[in-house]
Amino acid sequence: MPVAVLNETSRRVIFACPQATAAGVTTSMRETAALSRCPELHAEVVSAPEASSTWAEVLEQLYARYSDRVEGRAPGLAFLKVSAPAARELAAALHAPVGLAGSMEVAHLAALRAQPGEVRVVPPEGQAEKAFLALTPLAHLHVLGLTGAQLERLRFMAITGIADLWTWSAAQREAYLGVECGKRLNRFLKGERTTSVARYVPGQVLRAHLEIDAPIHELAPAEAVLHDLLPALVDALRGRTAAYLTVTADTVGGTLSATRKLKWPLDTDGLGRVARLALEETDALPLGIDRLTLEFSGLAQPSRMVGLWAGLADLDVTRDVLDRFPDALVRVRWLDAWSYATHAMYEWVDWQTGEVRRTAMTPRQAWTPSRTERRQQAVEQILAFFEGAQP
């Protein structure tokens, strides 16, 4: 069956399977035009939250199975640092085009010219890479930062690919494409490449599930299961925010899921209502739920001002430190600025959660009398009372 995925707002095709492509369906085509080309086409709309949640799960699987260097710059495009056998295994497992090269830009261009399930290998540097780039068509130059309008202007000049642009001088490319885009293209043609892939930070998806002894067909017991799963997930956030919540129900008829976008701040009651709405959206209760899974994705640190005149560098450093070491930073909470006792003046709390943190810098409580001294004080207070003096 030919299948196509439609954009949620514009109802245009964003993905078409090989059967649909063979029937004449292309990306950016309207739904009506796609159905006229292929009447038996099954068009499905994928919401933005569901697409983002699914892509985050794909990145987690790539990190767990193939490499610790994974960078997903856009949904559907991922860069990994893998060997040739691993690249072939990845292409076969996902049935996706894969490019293998010495830089991210050339690997992207190679993937665009590969077939689904195929690996296009480009030797790094040398004449082989230059010969491959010379055959790059104009439609693939968006990889190098060219916009659609700039590509149309190049088509007007009868430019068909990189080979024609190589005949231009650097000044001509900058004058025709603009200084910023022209300089970027000039640096690429001179051999400047991006060769390092960022290290992937795992834990971008938090997941909790519960196996159910007897299938659930009613909403009330399903809500009870959701309320049992949510507290552990909220604690695992440790002050972070989540962009999406996904509810997955395993039934006798298969796996059904729904994704909802979340708003900050997150509270357990609000999350419970959102999870219930997502569960109702799956329509899994009539089939009977055997296993229920909750997922948080799109994790990020909430924006926080680290100083009166905090710069971008300070904010970036703070975010990076908290991503790698959630317990590294603490801040001061003032209790009484005029107190003479240090422990009553301020306390150290966790940077993210605001909970009191006992550290080496935590002020110790003032002098505490011993048991004998407390007894002596009590005796003196009683004697002062009977003598008529104020204690």
Please determine, for residue 12, whether its predicted confidence score (pLDDT) is greater than 90: no
The percentage of residues in the chain with a pLDDT greater than 90, rounded to a whole number, is 11
Average pLDDT value for residue range 205-229: 88
Mean pLDDT of the chain: 83
Pick the more confident residue, 243 or 317: 243
Which superfamily is assigned to 209-297 in CATH? DNA polymerase, Y-family, little finger domain (3.30.1490.100)
Q: Where are the domains of the chain?
A: 3-46, 56-189, 209-297, 318-391
Q: In angstroms, what CA-CA distances link 99 with 15, 32, 103? A: 19, 33, 10
Average pLDDT value for residue range 88-97: 90
Spell out the SS3 assignment of 226-259: HHHHHHHHHHHHCCCECCEEEEEEEECCEEEEEE
Task: Look at residue 314 in the predicted model and tell me its pLDDT.
Answer: 58
Pick the more confident residue, 377 or 142: 142
Sequence-distant (6+) residues with CB within 8 A of 297 are: 52, 53, 56, 57, 204, 205, 206, 242, 243, 244, 246
Q: How confident is the model at residue 391 (pLDDT cuts 50, 70, 90)?
A: very low
User: pTM (2 decimals)?
Assistant: 0.59
Pick the more confident residue, 54 or 390: 54
Q: In angstroms, what CA-CA distances link 75 with 52, 55, 71, 246? A: 7, 6, 11, 17
Class of the CATH domain delimited by 3-46: alpha beta
pLDDT in tens, 245-273: 889 999 888 888 888 888 777 788 888 89
Coil, helix or strand at residue 38: coil
DSSP β-ladder status, 98-100 and 119-121:
parallel
**Quick one: 334 exposed, middle or buried, by C-beta within 10 A (0-12, 13-18, 19+)?**
exposed
Alpha-carbon span 270 to 242, nearest angstrom: 13
Cβ atoms within 10 Å of 249's Cβ, excluding its own = 25
pLDDT in tens, 333-372: 888 777 777 777 888 887 777 777 776 666 665 556 677 8
